[in-house]
């Protein structure tokens, strides 16, 4: 996912024992979104950052006010003061450094998708369980109050029985040097952004698809999927979506029921500095009911929820086994689209 520029975040009073975070890598999402959110959160603080070079780690640390920096990821993992790590590395490095973090006794919040395959995800889960550390896939949108409201509206029958979900998620990027256009490191539309609609369908239906059908267009030079569409059949209910790295920037989710429907205007890259909306329509009604959600930093909510799970030794808010289920569907989409 692409980073954005720094936004001012409201400061809150820190808890007496904030979780001490280290960050493995200086990716845009870490620098522009996650690190500022943790620094502004109640339950955590960022004590260290690592990069492949000490110069880059030092420059990033000084710019963001992080007290310690390391010129290697392993160096950070060996710091006894760091309790948890956030991994924003390219997808092909998620497994390697999650296993290393578990071996070092660090809790892990890892960017999505968790791994490069469902088997790798299972291995990562087993390693963290054996080491007694928490592991969570960073689907931050799920914890935002807007999506909690969507789920409550569906669960309470506000649109009748849930029948279908549609989604579009796209941006334009044809830079051959961008990791999202390199298949060996986990590039492509489905890994990068299609994983979100897959996750939404599984979350709202509360089950796994029984049938998966897809159509995939790949870049002739890069080999990554640039346009992927899929139909996920949940025992007669449908999730349909399109994701693309060669379309204008857009994201949208529609939730259709027997007596009404919901439109989620900004479902995934939810802005932290302005209110967001859910539009609710009744059966055949031309006007909508608007549910306005106050500005909320989804990355801060995610960091605090993870920190509380560590401090209280409770399950993480998004069970990591969900990452395996999501990847199984992604693998089925690729398999059907290859036919």
Sequence-ordered list of residues with C-beta below 8 angstroms from that of 157, at least 6 positions apart, any chain: none
Place of tokens 């520029």: 5
Contact 239, 165 (CB under 8 A): yes
Distance CA 262, CA 197 (A): 15
Active-site positions read 112
Q: Can you give the C-alpha Rg of the chain in angstroms?
A: 20
State both tokens at 134: 């928490």
Estimate the crossing angle of helix 321-337 against helix 195-205, to 10 degrees.
Answer: 120
């Amino acid at each position: 996912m692409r980073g954005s520029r720094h936004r001012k975040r409201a400061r809150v009073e820190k808890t007496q024992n904030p979780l001490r975070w280290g960050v493995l890598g200086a990716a845009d999402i870490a620098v522009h979104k996650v690190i500022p959110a943790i620094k502004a959160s109640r339950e955590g603080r960022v004590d260290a950052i690592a990069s492949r070079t000490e110069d880059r780690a030092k420059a990033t640390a000084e710019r963001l006010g992080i007290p310690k920096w390391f010129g290697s990821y392993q160096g950070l993992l060996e710091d006894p003061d760091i309790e948890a790590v956030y991994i924003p590395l390219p997808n092909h490095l998620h497994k390697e450094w999650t296993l290393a973090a578990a071996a070092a006794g660090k809790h892990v919040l890892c960017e999505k998708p968790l791994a490069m395959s469902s088997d790798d995800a299972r291995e990562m889960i087993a390693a963290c369980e054996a080491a007694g550390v928490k592991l969570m896939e960073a689907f931050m949108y799920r914890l935002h109050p807007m999506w909690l409201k969507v789920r409550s509206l569906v669960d309470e029958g506000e649109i009748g029985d849930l029948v279908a979900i549609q989604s579009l998620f796209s941006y334009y990027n044809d830079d051959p040097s961008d990791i999202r256009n390199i298949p060996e490191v986990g590039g492509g539309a489905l890994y990068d952004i299609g994983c979100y609609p897959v996750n939404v369908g599984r979350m709202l239906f509360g089950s796994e698809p029984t049938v998966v059908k897809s159509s995939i267009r790949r870049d002739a030079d890069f080999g990554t999927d640039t346009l992927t569409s899929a139909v996920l059949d949940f025992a007669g209910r449908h999730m349909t979506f399109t994701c693309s790295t060669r379309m204008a920037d857009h994201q949208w989710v529609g939730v259709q029921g027997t007596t009404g429907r919901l439109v989620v205007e900004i479902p995934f890259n939810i802005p932290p500095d302005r209110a967001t909306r859910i539009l609710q329509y009744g059966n055949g009604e031309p006007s909508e009911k608007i549910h306005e959600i106050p500005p909320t930093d989804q990355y801060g909510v995610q960091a605090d929820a993870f920190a509380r799970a560590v401090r209280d030794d409770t399950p993480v808010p998004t069970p990591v086994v969900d990452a395996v289920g999501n990847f199984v569907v992604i693998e089925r989409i690729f398999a059907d689209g290859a036919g």
